[in-house]
Structure 1
Amino acid sequence: MNTIPLPIAEPPSRSQRAKPPANKHEADKLAKRLRHQVGRAIADFGMIEDGDRVMVCLSGGKDSYTLLDVLLQLQKKAPVKFSITAVNLDQKQPGFPEHVLPDYLTSIGVDFHIIEQDTYSVVSRVIPEGKTMCSLCSRLRRGALYTYAEEHGFTKIALGHHRDDLVNTFFLNLFFHAKLSGMPPKLLSDDGKHVVIRPLAYVREDDIEAYAEAKRFPIIPCNLCGSQENLQRKQVKKMLAQWEKDAPGRIETMARALGDIRPSQLSDPKLFDFMALGKRGDDALPDAHAWLAGGETQRDDD
């Protein structure tokens, strides 16, 4: 598939990104803001209920570390009781530091499990050189995590996607797949067996980056697809970065728009009954075939 060119710009420099808190007071404010945003998302979408067993998918990136950290904080004073287990999929990428996550998770005393599955070799063998690997890699990773969740009775699967990911995915689908859809804060898997939640749905990526730096999480980079420059998602991200630079606050406005859908202002007859709008009488309206045929035949009263 050829990549559709988009108006892109260079990603923001370090000086343009949110900086890590300068002191303890600033760090506490940031942590409080994240707890508030995550707590509000959990409440708004009914993400966690009493007795839930939450499987937090931990990749070793800033997003999933932040997700786990904030959920552990909220768990202490949550209005419901729920358990947390951190689960990482070791995809057997060359050079992957296998000790980092077990050492970190042991140090904070959280229940965890490492799944070992060589998806790296599968993706590298199947995908031709130069083609993007994300689609197949995601399917294999999702399958392994879903299988583990089912086998061990987890009731919720928590992923680290944030506000910017939700906006990014909306434009990715708009530009490349001709549909208005995105990445919902809560969803049911296609097989109906798993409830997936995204508690960071209201959290800015810049805040996560600043928080991860302040907490000094042991970040593990993805060497499989993170360095691929021809990803459609990267093009959209650069475009959004330029928009945000030109008009600060635009991403937040777009994120809010995802929660304020007006079906009657769009063009999907499956979501809004345009046929009944302003209709006079009870007679059935002619369909498209009748209208097209009308250009080739004469009416009786002509």
Structure 2
Amino acid sequence: MQDVSPVSDDKAQKAAFESNKLAKRLRHHVGDAINDFNMIEEGDRIMVCLSGGKDSYALLDILLGLQKSAPIDFSIVAVNLDQKQPGFPEDVLPGYLESIGVEYRIVEEDTYSIVKRVVPEGKTTCALCSRLRRGILYRVATELGATKIALGHHRDDILQTLFLNMFYGGKLKAMPPKLVSDDGRHVVIRPLAYCREKDIERYAQMRAFPIIPCNLCGSQPNLQRQVVKEMINDWDRRFPGRVETMFRALRNVVPSHLADTALYDFATIAPGVVPEAGGDTAFDKEEFRDPVAPADDVEAPRRTISILDSRPKAPECQ
């Protein structure tokens, strides 16, 4: 029997350290988002929409971890919509969900045939597919008595949506971390809102989730979202820290310095009123500092996050 070399042992220890650090970082990001937007409350029943992709797997995994130690009680039910795509491996998700012991439901609806019949060849299928899927999931949430619907969109998805709306829709609009559903009957939450996609990718590899590719829309070339994604990723490579700064801007909006008359009352501005925060910089020389890349090894000081607090220990029997 051969001894394990010191080099191999060091690599294993380093890999374990990095994995633990990544898991803690994602857990804290999710906890921060839940706390900031009051996403989960006592007694909630969370319906986690599981597509078979890395993002929804990570969402379910992290929420299950938080559920075990959170100071509030909430339940989780995983839901997958089987859209009857040709070649979809129907056994993968039930097998995985049973192996981790989570309540789940597989919903079978042939939206694939509808999309292929309605959308002309070569056109993007995402819009119709999303509408059909959304309506079905709202119905299922009602049937299951879910109080919240959790989706796996992350920080990069939110930024991509911002630029898509700016470039193609003429709107300053992104994905909110929390909103009321289109039917007005449910609350939709995005607990991964503060998480970076590259962290989620590493986490999915570390946890060896059984990823199922989407052959309906994910394989379509030249999608506008893919173009925007590549643009943002290029900025991230060339200017580390820029993506973090852009996302921070979504949480630091100054309506008086935009141009939406429905959002800010420009008509009543007159001499003598109290100047707005930020003031008038029209005659100032603009100075912008380069963004600072976040250091993965340095955790920023954190406030106490309710969802991350450990639940009180049961009193010992006398």
User: TM-score range, shorter-chain basis?
Assistant: 0.7 to 0.9
- % identical equivalent positions: 67
Which of 212, 230, 238 is equivalent to 2:222?
A: 230
TM-score, normalized by length of structure 2? 0.80
Shift of 1:22: 5.8
1:33 alignment counterpart: 25
Q: How many residues align?
A: 261
CA-to-partner distance for each residue in 1:141-174, whole Å, 9 max, x for gaps? 1111011001221000000000000101000100
Shift of 1:176: 0.5
- 1:71-110 equivalences under 5 Å are 71-110=63-102
Aligned pair partner of 2:175 in 183, 193, 198: 183
Task: Name the residue aligned to 1:289.
Answer: none
The whole-number CA distance in structure 2 between the counterparts of 1:60 and 1:123 is 20
In the other structure, the counterpart of 2:265 is 273
How far is the alpha carbon of 1:279 from its aligned partner?
A: 6.0
Deviation of 1:190 (Å): 2.3
Is 2:184 the counterpart of 1:211?
A: no
What SS class does the counterpart of residue 23 from structure 1 fall into?
helix
Q: Is the 8 A contact 1:27 1:214 kept in 2?
A: yes
What do residues 23-56 of structure 1 show as CA deviations (whole Å, max 9, x unaligned)?
1111111111111110010000000000000000
**Could you say which residue in structure 2 is the equivalent of 1:137?**
129
* Deviation digits for residues 199-219 of structure 1 (CA, Å, limit 9, x no counterpart): 000000000000000000000
Partner amino acid, structure 2, of 1:43: N
- Give the one of 148, 171, 178 matched to 2:140: 148
Contact 1:132-1:230 within 8 A present in 2 as well: no
How far did residue 245 of structure 1 move? Answer: 1.6
Unpaired stretches in structure 2, ≥5 consecutive residues: 1-12, 273-318
Q: Where in structure 1 do 4 or more consecutive aligned residues deviate above 2 Å?
A: none
How far does residue 131 in structure 1 lie from its aligned partner after superposition?
Answer: 0.2
- Give ranges in structure 1 of 5+ residues lacking alignment: 1-20, 281-302
- Tell me, in whole angstroms, the C-alpha distance in 2 between the residues paired with 1:82 and 1:243: 39
1:248 maps to: 240
1:96-122 CA distances to partner (integer Å, 9 max, x unpaired)? 000000000000000000000000000
Please state how far the C-alpha of 1:251 moved relative to its aligned partner: 1.0
Q: CA deviation at 1:81?
A: 0.4
Q: Which residue in the other structure is 1:15 paired with?
A: none
1:238, distance to aligned residue in structure 2 (A) = 1.1
